[in-house]
């Protein structure tokens, strides 16, 4: 099959469709001009390269000659990678959600030549099925409607465009309506949705919602409400022990198809690894539970092993589908991760295989409890069906023996699995998702005292700074195959700023504070809405769409406005530049009514509110970073869960002047009597400095 125009693109998703018989166009003026010239509507198809149902729809419809002919004759077909163009995706998924009650990918939207939507939906089967119109039926209906009911379509499209414009400007500037009572209300919502039997919220499917769990940990810290901690711990433990957690390879699959966290949707997204690693690290700080630290380590090791570019950037995702290693070679969901009982027995000694089967819940008939399409018969997802003590008791051996058996077995199973055909990896590097991973690695480097994690964060930050900035210092969104492209959006700035702030606190290299401050200034200059407050998703000089979107909902990833608010509050505390806090407070005022009305939908935004309400802790260590006392002080600080703390290191003498240029107030924080000193401040009011670790510990215990 000859290639279409997508062959010239860099997006793995677009390249997957480059040999379809559909005459695909990338989003751009060439497609729009053809639509106007030939008087054809635009068929916009949005997805991403590791999307299972996108693959299904491609195979059923876009590779089908009859369907392609209908698309080519009646429409101008435009393909968009949602991960490359979150602005386009944001607009049209809002339309689809508003008109159908749900959204997702693959997403199909029919547009007028001026990009106004008049009909849309998600997955369409090739033929009419279960009350859902088949894609070919839909194509015929839309082509006919364009010819016979044009006025009706144009009126509908104008109304849709007006709705999208009004929705994007729905911020309500005025008094900040957010308070500690809002945080209490969010907790009550979480408590009412909590599944006490299996952890998580609601029924199936279950998503990890890591920022909601982090907010629960913050609420526990603020209110000393043990139930908030219990809900978070129950959920984190259940996820870690379930099949959504890759037991032998590390990392998390996208979500669980059942309420027990047993059977996942198998794709692995970079942002999930970053966000979940961070939450497990926070749980470790809060409880000192080694299980949480182990999960964070295993997740980050997976990222280093599989998702890291040789130059330090982090790749975007791994597919759910891969060629079936059991004979057919056809791509199937989860094929890489599933096991038959015979495969376990074949690659392990007999005694070890029995222990592994019991521990991981292996059954000859398969262990899937959610298999509506009968894909997993005779196949097993590894999950911790029985704990180490339960397994030891069952086999009448010591727990230490079980741990030894499992360690060796996991290594062998991982070796065998690695020989299978691996899932497709989306190897584009996105600035925003990399910012999240930089933050997670920097946090892990501090908490777990693992220099490799700090080094990984620093390499990735240099990658973004050196490869994904234009000559004017502005961020670009995507790097792949030697090309940096697509003007950065709000999340690129806010997520990378977060990564830089965490990286400074791991390395105390002032360049990362400088980077964060400079990017914040650029973010304010190009994204701020001076009329209504809050940030737009796109820069003021970005491509003009039918509406300029704002991003607020904290979904699979937190919103750009939520993270920006937290960034600005922290930059205020690092620099004592009150302008940053003023902008954060304007964000709270702009979106306060919306967030207060449905607090459960905005957990990351409420984390910023929690930070803004305080109390905050600012800690400055004055001394040489190589001094043993300084290192011991930092160890004491890093292990404690103070989500509203920032840490600075003021080196004595000329070495400290770079920090003084950013934060002039640190000039007053000096060693005492030739000894390193710790200054612990609450809401900018400081205790007397202490020079011993025991004294510092007493101060921190009062937090």
Q: Both tokens of residue 583?
A: 């902008």
Q: Within its chain, how far is the Cα of 354 from the centroid?
A: 37
Q: Helix (H, G, I), strand (E, B), or coil: what is residue 232?
A: helix
In a domain, 470, yes or no: no
Cα–Cα distance between 202 and 221 in angstroms, integer?
A: 24
In a domain, 151, yes or no: yes
Helices (H), 598-644: 603-613, 628-638
636 neighbors 563 (Cβ within 8 angstroms): no
Helix H or strand E segment including 79: strand 76-81
Backbone phi and psi for residue 416, each to the nearest 5 degrees, phi listed first: -65, -40
Backbone phi and psi for residue 580, each to the nearest 5 degrees, phi listed first: -65, -45
Q: Residues 6 or more apart from 322 whose CB is under 8 A from it?
A: 331, 332, 335, 336, 420, 421, 422, 423, 424
Q: Given this model, what pLDDT does residue 172 score?
A: 60
Whether residue 620 is found in the same domain as residue 676:
yes
428 neighbors 478 (Cβ within 8 angstroms): yes
Q: What is the CATH number of the domain that holds 103?
A: 3.40.30.10
Residue 420, domain extent: 199-426
Whether residue 361 is found in the same domain as residue 228:
yes
Whether residue 109 is found in the same domain as residue 219:
no
Whether residue 236 is found in the same domain as residue 95:
no
Q: Given this model, what pLDDT does residue 654 score?
A: 86
Q: Given this model, what pLDDT does residue 166 score?
A: 84
Whether residue 103 is found in the same domain as residue 245:
no
Cα–Cα distance between 547 and 28 in angstroms, integer?
A: 16
Q: Both tokens of residue 417?
A: 């699995």
Q: Which pLDDT tens digit goes with each residue over 505-542? A: 999 999 999 999 999 999 999 999 999 999 999 999 99
Tell me the pLDDT band of 684, cut-offs 50, 70 and 90: confident
Question: What are the distances in angstroms from CA 78 to CA 34, 47, 100, 113?
Answer: 11, 11, 21, 12
Question: What are the distances in angstroms from CA 270 to CA 173, 251, 370, 398?
Answer: 35, 9, 25, 38
Burial label, 422 (beta-carbon count in 10 A; 0-12, 13-18, 19+)? middle
Cα–Cα distance between 641 and 224 in angstroms, integer?
A: 13
Cα–Cα distance between 57 and 421 in angstroms, integer?
A: 22
In a domain, 178, yes or no: no
pLDDT exceeds cutoff 90 at 163: yes
**3-state SS, one letter per residue, for 479-499:** EECCEEEEECCHHHHHHHHHH
Whether residue 159 is found in the same domain as residue 255:
no
In a domain, 523, yes or no: no
174 neighbors 588 (Cβ within 8 angstroms): no
Question: What are the distances in angstroms from CA 505 to CA 34, 220, 300, 640, 696?
Answer: 52, 24, 19, 14, 18
For the segment 140-144, the average pLDDT, to the nearest whole number, is 97
In a domain, 26, yes or no: yes
Q: Which pLDDT tens digit goes with each residue over 337-383? A: 999 999 999 999 999 999 999 999 999 999 998 777 788 999 999 99
Q: Helix (H, G, I), strand (E, B), or coil: what is residue 366?
A: coil
User: What is the total count of domains within the chain?
Assistant: 3
pLDDT exceeds cutoff 70 at 173: no
Domain boundary pick from 426, 457, 484? 426
For the segment 676-682, the average pLDDT, to the nearest whole number, is 95
Whether residue 9 is found in the same domain as residue 158:
yes
Whether residue 259 is found in the same domain as residue 159:
no
Whether residue 161 is found in the same domain as residue 221:
no
Closest CA to 113 of 80, 75, 144: 75
Whether residue 164 is found in the same domain as residue 204:
no
Q: Which pLDDT tens digit goes with each residue over 445-487? A: 999 999 999 999 999 999 999 999 999 999 999 999 999 999 9
- Residues facing 245 on adjacent strands: 252
Whether residue 267 is found in the same domain as residue 389:
yes
Domain boundary pick from 150, 168, 186? 168
Q: Given this model, what pLDDT does residue 610 score?
A: 97
Q: Residues 6 or more apart from 118 whose CB is under 8 A from it?
A: 41, 110, 111, 112, 153, 154, 156, 157, 160
Compute and round to an integer the Cα radius of gyration of the chain: 26
Cα–Cα distance between 319 and 606 in angstroms, integer?
A: 32
Mean pLDDT over each residue of the chain, to the nearest integer: 95
Q: Given this model, what pLDDT does residue 563 score?
A: 98
Cα–Cα distance between 83 and 270 in angstroms, integer?
A: 12
pLDDT exceeds cutoff 80 at 570: yes
Buried-exposed string 592-612: b where 16+ CB fall within 10 A, e elsewhere: bbbbbeebbbbbbbbbbbbbb
* pTM (2 d.p.): 0.97
Cα–Cα distance between 335 and 176 in angstroms, integer?
A: 51
- In the chain, the percentage of residues whose pLDDT exceeds 90 is 94
In a domain, 504, yes or no: no
In a domain, 476, yes or no: no
598 neighbors 545 (Cβ within 8 angstroms): no
Whether residue 160 is found in the same domain as residue 213:
no
Q: Given this model, what pLDDT does residue 606 score?
A: 98
Domain boundary pick from 426, 454, 489? 426
Crossing angle of helices 603-613 and 210-223, in 10° steps, is 30
In a domain, 490, yes or no: no
């Amino acid at each position: 099959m000859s290639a279409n125009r997508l062959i010239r693109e860099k997006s793995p998703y677009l390249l997957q469709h480059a040999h379809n018989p559909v005459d695909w166009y990338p989003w751009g003026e060439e497609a729009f001009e053809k639509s106007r010239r030939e008087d054809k509507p635009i068929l916009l198809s949005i997805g991403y390269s590791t999307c299972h149902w996108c693959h299904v729809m491609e195979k059923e419809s876009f590779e089908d000659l009859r369907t392609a002919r209908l698309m080519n004759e009646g429409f101008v077909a435009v393909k968009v990678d949602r991960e490359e163009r979150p602005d386009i995706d944001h607009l049209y998924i809002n339309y689809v959600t508003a008109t159908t009650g749900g959204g997702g990918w693959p997403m199909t939207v029919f547009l007028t030549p001026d990009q106004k939507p008049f009909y849309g939906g998600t997955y369409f089967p090739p033929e009419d099925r279960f009350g859902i119109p088949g894609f070919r039926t839909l194509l015929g209906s839309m082509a006919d409607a364009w010819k016979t009911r044009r006025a009706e379509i144009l009126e509908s499209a104008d109304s849709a465009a007006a709705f999208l414009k009004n929705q994007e400007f729905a911020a309500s500037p005025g008094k900040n309506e957010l308070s500690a009572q809002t945080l209490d209300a969010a907790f009550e919502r979480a408590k009412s949705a909590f599944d006490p039997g299996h952890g998580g919220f609601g029924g199936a499917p279950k998503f990890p919602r890591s920022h909601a769990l982090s907010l629960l940990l913050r609420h526990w810290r603020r209110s000393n409400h043990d139930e908030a901690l219990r809900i978070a711990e129950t959920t984190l433990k259940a996820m870690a022990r379930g099949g959504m957690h890759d037991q032998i390879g590390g990392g998390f699959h996208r979500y669980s198809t059942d309420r027990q966290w047993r059977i996942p949707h198998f794709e692995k997204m970079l942002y999930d690894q970053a966000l979940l690693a961070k939450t497990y690290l926070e749980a470790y700080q809060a409880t000192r539970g080694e299980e949480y630290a182990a999960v964070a380590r295993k997740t980050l090791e997976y990222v280093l092993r599989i998702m890291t570019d040789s130059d330090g950037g982090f790749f975007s995702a791994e597919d759910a589908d891969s060629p079936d290693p059991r004979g057919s070679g056809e791509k199937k969901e989860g094929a890489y991760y599933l096991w038959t009982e015979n495969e376990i027995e074949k690659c392990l000694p007999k005694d070890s295989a029995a222990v592994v089967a019991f521990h991981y819940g292996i059954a000859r008939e398969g262990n899937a409890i959610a298999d509506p399409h009968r894909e997993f018969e005779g196949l097993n997802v590894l999950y911790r069906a029985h704990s180490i003590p339960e397994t030891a008791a069952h086999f009448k051996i010591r727990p230490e023996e079980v741990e030894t058996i499992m360690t060796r077995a996991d290594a062998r199973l991982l070796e065998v699995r690695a020989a299978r055909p691996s899932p497709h990896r989306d190897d584009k590097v996105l600035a925003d998702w990399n910012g999240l991973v930089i933050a997670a690695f920097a946090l892990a480097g501090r908490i777990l005292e693992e220099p490799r994690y700090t080094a990984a964060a620093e390499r990735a930050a240099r990658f973004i700074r050196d490869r994904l900035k234009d000559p004017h210092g502005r961020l670009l969104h995507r790097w792949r195959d030697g090309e940096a492209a697509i003007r950065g959006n709000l999340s690129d700035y806010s997520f990378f700023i977060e990564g830089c702030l965490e990286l400074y606190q791991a390395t105390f290299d002032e360049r990362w504070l400088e980077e964060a401050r400079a990017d914040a200034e650029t973010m304010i200059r190009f994204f701020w809405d001076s009329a209504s407050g809050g940030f737009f998703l796109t820069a003021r000089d970005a491509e003009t769409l039918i509406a300029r979107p704002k991003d607020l909902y904290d979904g699979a990833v937190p919103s750009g406005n939520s993270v920006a608010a937290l960034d600005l509050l922290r930059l205020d505390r690092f620099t004592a530049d009150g302008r940053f806090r003023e902008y954060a407070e304007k964000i709270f005022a702009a979106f306060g009514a919306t967030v207060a009305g449905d607090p459960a939908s905005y957990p990351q935004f409420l984390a910023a509110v929690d930070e803004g309400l305080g109390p905050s802790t600012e800690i400055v260590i004055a001394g040489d970073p190589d001094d043993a006392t300084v290192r011991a002080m930092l160890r004491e600080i890093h292990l404690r869960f103070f989500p509203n703390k920032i840490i600075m290191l003021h080196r004595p003498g000329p070495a400290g002047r770079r920090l003084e240029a950013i934060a002039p107030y640190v000039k007053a924080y000096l060693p005492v009597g030739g000894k390193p000193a710790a200054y612990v401040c609450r809401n900018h009011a400081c205790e007397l400095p202490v020079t011993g670790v025991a004294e510092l510990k007493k101060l921190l215990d009062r937090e």
